[in-house]
Amino acid sequence: MRPLRPLFKFSLLAVILGVAACSSSPTGRQQVLLFSGNDMSQLGAQSFSELKKQEKIESDPKINKYVQCVSYAITRTLPAPKDFNEWEVVVFDSEQVNAFALPGGKIGVYTGLLNVAKNQDQLATVIGHEIAHVLANHGNERLSQSQVVDMGLQLSSAAMSGSEYQGMAMAGLGLGAQYGILMPYGRAQESESDILGLRLMAAAGFDPQQSVELWKNMAAASGGNQPPELLSTHPSHSTRIEDLQKEIAKLSITPVKRQNCQQ
C-alpha cells in the first residue's frame, strides 16, 4: 500500500479537525473527538474484561461493599447512561495505589488505594476524579489525538480486540501501566477531572474538604519523589490542593444526603 502523500494527509487532517473541532469538554475546553460514544463503550468493556482476566479480584465482601457504596453513591447522581445499561464496580487485590473508570460504565479500584484514601470522602474524591475522566471524554480525546498524529486511523471499533493496537487503546483509557505503554492524561485533563470530580463527590453527599486531605496523603505516600511540575504531565500535589481549595470556596451544591459508607 502506497503511503499517503503529504498534501493528502494535510487535507485529511483538516477534514478530521473540521468535523471534530466543535466538541468541547464540560468546562468549555475544545476537544478533538473522533470516536462515537458507542465505540468508546465497547472499547471500555473489552479492556475491562481483559483486565479482570489478568488481575486478582478482591473477594472480601466487606471491602467490596464499601467501595461499591461509595461508587454507586456518585453514579446515582449522574444522568441515565446512553451507551451502556449500568455501572460495574470491581475491586482488585493489589498494593497499587490506583483506581480508574472506563467508558461503558466500568470502575476499578485497587485495594492499595484504601491505605491512602483513609475514609469514604477521600475514596469518593478519587472515584469522582476517575468518573470525571469518562464524563469529559478524556479517553476519546487521547485516542483521537494519537490518531490525528498517526493519520492511520487504525483504531476503529472493529479492530480493537486482539489486535496489535489493543495495548495502545487500553493505554489511551488510562491502563497503560499494566500494558507497558504510557499514554498519560495531560495536565489540562487532570486538572479538569479534579474540579469535575470534586463537584460529583460533593453532589453525592461526600465532604469536599476531604479532597485536600486526600492529596496531602498522596504527597506523603509519594515520599517526596514526585518530579517537578514542569517535568510532569500531572499537576504537582501543591497545585492540586490549591486549585481544589479555590473550587471548594465556590461550591454551592446541595447534596442529596450525607453518605454513610462503612469501611
In a domain, 93, yes or no: yes
Cell of 80: 441515565
In a domain, 8, yes or no: no
Is the distance from CB of 215 to CB of 241 less than 8 angstroms? Answer: yes
Ramachandran category for residue 227: left, alpha or beta (phi over 0 → left; psi -120 to 50 → alpha) = beta
In a domain, 184, yes or no: yes
**pLDDT tens-place string over residues 130-139:** 999 999 998 8
**pLDDT tens-place string over residues 92-104:** 999 999 999 999 9
Give the confidence band of 181 by pLDDT, cuts at 50, 70, 90: very low
Is the distance from CB of 135 to CB of 26 less than 8 angstroms? Answer: yes
In a domain, 44, yes or no: yes
Give the confidence band of 12 by pLDDT, cuts at 50, 70, 90: very low
In a domain, 257, yes or no: no
Residue by residue, DSSP assigns the chain as -PPPPHHHHHHHHHHHHHHHTT-B-TTS-B----S-HHHHHHHHHHHHHHHHHHSPBP--HHHHHHHHHHHHHHHTTSPPPSSSS--EEEEE--S---EEEETTTEEEEEGGGGGTS-SHHHHHHHHHHHHHHHHTTHHHHHHHHHHHHH------GGG-TTSTTHHHHHIIIIIHHHHT---PPPHHHHHHHHHHHHHHHHHTT--THHHHHHHHHHHHHTTT-PPPGGG-SSPPHHHHHHHHHHHHHH-----SS------
Where is pLDDT greater, at 98 or 162? 98
The confidence score (pLDDT) of residue 59 equals 97
In a domain, 263, yes or no: no
Range of the domain at 57: 20-250
The confidence score (pLDDT) of residue 168 equals 55
Angstrom distances, CA of residue 263 to CA of 60, 162, 179, 201: 12, 38, 31, 17
Query: Structurally, how many domains does the chain consist of?
Result: 1
Segment 175-204 shows an average pLDDT of 74
In a domain, 3, yes or no: no
The answer on pLDDT for 217 being more than 70 is: yes
153: phi then psi, degrees, rounded to nearest 5: 50, 40
**pLDDT tens-place string over residues 136-158:** 998 888 887 776 555 444 444 43
In a domain, 14, yes or no: no
Where is pLDDT greater, at 92 or 40? 92
How much is the mean pLDDT over the chain?
78
